[in-house]
């Protein structure tokens, strides 16, 4: 995550423009420069290639530490190079984070502290970052506007995903806004009432 003027969400490589390759660190470095912020840490929500595939290279280029996801995702991070071959997306490396995250940990995003929730289902070690005062959650691929994370990949668990959303996210309140890994964000209240996968 970056700190400085404004806020830049770099919770996953998927936040950057996708240019037909996984090695997106030039795009991220350009975005950081454009926003006039300083990169302080690289936070990983989960171990899929579109969220963690460029992290090792970004760490090497910037010297900034990689934090997260939950250790249960080591099975995915150990296979990033294989995911790279399977999806014909060259250029990624396996990732060993500098530290793992667990439920109840705190991460710093800009000037604010966010609590870590472990929300398995889409990935076994998926984490979500929450600030209740700001009413803002960074949910990665757990929840989308009108949809939920896919559970047809290896190591997914559909029931666990539904449980994470109903028992960890929604109790935070309808007013919570969320930023997600793909597409526009929204509010928990709107999803609770209208999301066809959850009603
Ligand atoms: Zn994912
Ligand atoms: Zn994704």
Assign domain 2-194 to its CATH architecture: 4-Layer Sandwich (3.60)
- With a CB cutoff of 8 Å and minimum separation 6, the contacts of 152 are none
Nearest ligand, CA 124 = 1
Question: Alpha carbon of 14 to those of 102, 111, 175: distances in Å?
Answer: 22, 23, 25
* Nearest ligand to the C-alpha atom of residue 180: 2
pLDDT digits (tens, 9 = 90+) for 108-164: 999 999 999 999 999 999 999 999 999 999 999 999 999 999 999 999 999 999 999
Reported pTM:
0.88
Q: Which residues contact 124 (CB under 8 A, 6 or more apart)?
A: 70, 72, 73, 75, 76, 155, 157
For 108, phi and psi rounded to 5 degrees? -100, 125
Break the chain into its structural domains and give their ranges.
2-194
Task: Find the 3 Cα to ligand 1 centroid distance in Å.
Answer: 25
- Tell me the per-residue pLDDT of 51-108, one tens digit each, with 9 for 90 and over: 999 999 999 999 999 999 999 999 999 999 998 888 887 778 999 999 999 999 999 9
Which token pair is 127?
């984490």
């Amino acid at each position: 995550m970056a700190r400085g003027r404004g806020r830049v969400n770099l919770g996953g490589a998927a936040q950057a423009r996708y240019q037909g390759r996984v090695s997106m660190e030039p795009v991220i470095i350009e975005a950081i420069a454009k926003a006039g912020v300083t990169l302080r840490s690289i936070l990983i929500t989960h171990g899929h290639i579109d969220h963690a595939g460029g992290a090792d290279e970004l760490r090497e280029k910037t010297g900034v530490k990689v934090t997260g996801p939950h250790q249960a995702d080591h099975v995915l991070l150990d296979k990033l190079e294989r995911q790279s071959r399977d999806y014909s997306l060259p250029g990624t490396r396996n990732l060993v984070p500098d530290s793992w995250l667990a439920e109840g940990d705190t991460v710093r995003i800009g000037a604010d502290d966010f609590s870590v929730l472990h929300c398995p289902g889409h990935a076994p070690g998926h984490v979500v970052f929450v600030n209740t005062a700001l009413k803002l959650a960074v949910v990665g691929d757990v929840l989308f506007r009108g949809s939920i994370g896919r559970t047809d990949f290896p190591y997914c668990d559909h029931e666990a995903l539904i449980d994470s959303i109903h028992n960890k996210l929604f109790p935070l309140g309808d007013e919570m806004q969320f930023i997600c890994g793909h597409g526009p964000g929204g509010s928990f209240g709107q999803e609770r009432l209208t999301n066809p996968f959850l009603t």
